[in-house]
């Protein structure tokens, strides 16, 4: 008999329940040194989840799927998978407090888009932006981690497919998709995730339905405003506040300090001219004149 060395790597997948059962098996110690466990939870980026649904759901439906319908489903699914952060896990106390105060929607947008909540101050925004990596890796050493529970990317497509509208309905729109998921969420979300305690708005998947519908309406509102050449009223306020800041600095001969990066630069003369053109301001000194 000869000994052969096998140059191979065996790859297998399992869930947490089966893995824990294997650890209780008498033969586990024989395999322990040969195993390299890698966590692979559900996606926390709803944009990537959205791409999966477009590949798996849309081709299977008889009706045309309206824009953003799969976006709504993906956002809701990711919201069910997130966990509240704990301040004591962070070395930076300021970052820990900010992370612990994040809502599920704020965290979902932070993971997918890097969007900093507008409610934060300039200093808090800088702290959170610098600590994004710490936020993303908070649960790496925790037994319960983000993506462990919640809506599965396999369950959502099946649940939505079972709840299709009648064949006479030609378009499956996002608002209807939200109502469909409201009826199907009890079947599409695992029992363990449904029974998880709701804390700070987390795990409240029925309330998530309202939140994603609101996000969908806001998305439609932006698209309509963009297509008609309109912008939100708040954007005009932001532009005017920025204009006042730059005018004040220009008159004082001071430099503008970026609130995020801290870089300093001369007042934005292009911005000043553009705003004054919109306001039809005349007989002003040209910017840059001495």
Question: From first to last of its 290 residues, what are the pLDDT tens digits of the chain?
Answer: 677 777 777 788 887 788 888 888 888 888 888 888 888 888 999 999 988 888 877 787 777 767 787 888 889 999 999 999 999 999 999 999 999 999 999 999 999 999 899 899 889 999 999 999 999 999 988 888 898 888 887 777 776 666 555 554 444 445 455 444 444 444 444 444 444 456 578 988 888 888 888 888 888 887 877 776 665 656 667 777 888 888 888 888 888 887 767 788 888 888 888 777 777 776 555 554 43
Do the Cβ atoms of 150 and 81 come closer than 8 Å? yes
What are the boundaries of each domain within the chain? 46-228, 233-278
State how far the Cα of 35 lies from the Cα of 18, in Å rounded to an integer: 15
State how far the Cα of 99 lies from the Cα of 16, in Å rounded to an integer: 26
Give long-range contacts, CB 8 A cutoff, 24+ apart: 144-149. 144/83, 145/39, 145/41, 145/83, 146/41, 146/44, 146/81, 146/82, 146/83, 147/41, 147/42, 147/43, 147/44, 147/81, 148/16, 148/41, 148/42, 148/81, 149/80, 149/81, 149/190, 149/192, 149/193, 149/196
Do the Cβ atoms of 267 and 258 come closer than 8 Å? no
CA atoms within 13 A on the CB side of 217: 9
pLDDT of residue 137: 92
pLDDT of residue 176: 52
């Amino acid at each position: 008999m000869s000994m052969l060395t096998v140059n191979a790597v065996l790859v297998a997948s399992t869930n947490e329940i089966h893995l824990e059962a294997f650890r209780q098996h008498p033969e586990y110690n024989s395999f322990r040194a040969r195993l390299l466990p890698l966590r692979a939870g559900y996606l926390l980026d709803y944009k990537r989840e959205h791409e999966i649904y477009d590949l798996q759901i849309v081709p299977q439906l008889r009706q045309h799927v309206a824009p953003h319908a799969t976006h709504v489903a993906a956002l809701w699914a990711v919201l069910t998978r997130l966990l509240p952060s704990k301040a004591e896990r962070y070395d930076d106390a300021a970052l820990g407090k900010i992370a612990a105060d994040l809502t599920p929607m704020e965290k979902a947008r932070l993971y997918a888009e890097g969007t900093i909540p507008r409610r934060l101050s300039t200093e808090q925004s800088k702290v959170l932006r610098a600590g994004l990596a710490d936020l993303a890796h908070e649960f790496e050493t925790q037994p319960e981690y983000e993506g462990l529970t919640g809506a599965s990317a396999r369950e959502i497509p099946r649940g939505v497919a079972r709840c299709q509208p009648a064949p006479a309905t030609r378009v499956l729109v996002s608002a209807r998709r939200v109502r469909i998921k409201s009826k199907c969420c009890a079947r599409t979300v695992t029992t363990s995730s449904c029974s998880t305690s709701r804390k700070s708005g987390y795990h409240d998947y029925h309330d998530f339905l309202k939140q994603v519908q609101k996000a969908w309406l806001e998305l439609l509102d932006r698209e309509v405003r963009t297509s008609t050449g309109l912008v939100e009223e708040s954007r005009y306020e932001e532009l005017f506040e920025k204009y006042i800041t730059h005018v004040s600095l220009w008159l004082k001969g001071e430099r503008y300090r970026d609130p995020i990066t801290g870089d300093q630069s001369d007042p934005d003369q292009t911005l000043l001219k553009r705003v004054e053109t919109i306001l039809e301001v005349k007989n002003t000194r040209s910017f840059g004149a001495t």
